[in-house]
Every structure is written in structure tokens, then in C-alpha cells.
Structure 1
Amino acid sequence: MNKEVLDYVVEKTHELIDAPTCSNEAREAAKAWLDALGTDAEAAETKKYIDELEADIMPIDTLISFAESEGGSQCFGADAAKNIAAHAKEIKAAGAKYCDCPACVAVAAILEKKESLL
């Protein structure tokens, strides 16, 4: 992996860790990956990290379905859930494939470099 790609992914990984919408699992995988850089565990941790990111990124249709569900209302509150669903429909209409929360934006940026990481 070249230094430019590595630096970019490290930067996006820190953005992910700092994102308030980052899951605990993704945060832990990100930290483990950063800790493994330059060690014998790097390749294995990179694979685990990518697997976790692929599992965590929220497809836009999933976000819409959840926001419109009873679970979404319970999670976000009824008004916020309606706003999230409306926003998600707007960005989907504009071509978005994934949620645009800070964590998903960072994950999408990292996954764009997946082939260079593995």
C-alpha cells in the first residue's frame, strides 16, 4: 500500500473514530487496525477492519426503512425519525447509496480504497 493511500485511510479512520454515529464495533476495529499498522498483525487486522466496515455502512434503503419503522421512532424520537426518513429519501433521489452521517461518510471513503488496502 502506498504512503498516500495509507495516510488518507488513517485520516478517515480517525474521522470515523471521532464520529458520534460510529458504532462501538467499528470504533474498536478502527483502533485495532491503527494499532496493528507496521506489525505482523497488519494484514489480518486490515481484513477484519474492512469486514466490519462493510457490515456497518448503512445502505440508504435500510436507513429509510428503519427511520420509518417503530424502532426508528423509538431510537430517534418520532419527529427526528420523520426528518431522517425525509432527508434519506432526498439524498437517495440525488443518487446516494449510503447514509450520509459522519460515520458512514468516513466508512464510504475508506471502502473506496479497499483494493489498495488488501
Structure 2
Amino acid sequence: MAKEEIIEKVKEVMNAPSCYEGLKKVCEVYLKALGTEEEKGAAAALKEELKADVNSLDNVIPFFESEEGAKLLGADTAKSLAAAAHAAKEKGVKYCICPACTAGGWLLDHEAEW
């Protein structure tokens, strides 16, 4: 696997509308540390943050189907996201289907390679 592929996925996480500010900052630190003596530590910090922040479908489906999800997202959006998440799970997808979790999940699946 090429380092460029990892960098691209980190940028995808960072630039995703669904990426929260804390994870975005950890991505920025990692990208700035590339090629320096801080890279290894920044990579470890990013991996830990991804483990804490990337949601599984098993975690988000109940939220999408909850009253809280309907309140925060709107009933129609929550229902649509729940249906899409169920469909993704049936296809074997394990991570939340938002852009940040999709790219972050890919990074986690390839964690040993970077």
C-alpha cells in the first residue's frame, strides 16, 4: 500500500462534512508531521482517535431509528439514513456510512500498514 493512499484517506476524513473538529485537528497534526520525527507519534494519536470516533453500523442504526435521531436529523432524514445503513450492513459494510466514518474505517482496516 502506498503512503499516498493513506494520506488521501486522512484528507477524506478531515474534509468530510461529518468529521467533527477534534478529529479534524488530529488529522491536520498527522499531515503536518509527515516526514518528520513526529510522524510516528502523530500516526499513533490519529489511530487512537479514529478508534474512538469511527462508528459501526451497529451503533448508528439504533440512533437513526431513535426519537433522538429523528429530533436531531429530522424524521425523514433519520428514516432514510436508517434504511441506507441497513442496506449497507446487508452488503457486509461494518462502519457508519457517513464520509468521515467510511474513510476512517478504511484507515482502521489498514492500521497495521501505516
Normalised by the length of structure 2, the TM-score is 0.91
Q: Which residue is 1:20 aligned to?
A: 17
- In structure 1, how many angstroms separate the alpha carbons of the residues matched to 2:46 and 2:82? 29
- In structure 2, how many angstroms separate the alpha carbons of the residues matched to 1:109 and 1:98? 9
Runs of 4 or more, structure 1, over 4 Å off, are none
Deviation at 1:67, TM superposition (A): 0.6
Cα deviation per residue 1:45-78 (whole Å; 9 max; x = unaligned)? 1111000111111100111011111221122111
**Aligned match of 2:98 in 96, 101, 104?**
101
Name structure 1 gaps, 5 residues minimum: none
Identity, % of aligned positions: 37
Name structure 2 gaps, 5 residues minimum: none
Q: Which residue is 1:48 aligned to?
A: 45
**Aligned match of 1:60 in 53, 57, 62?**
57
Instruction: Verify: 1:87 aligned to 2:58, yes or no.
Output: no
Normalised by the length of structure 1, the TM-score is 0.89
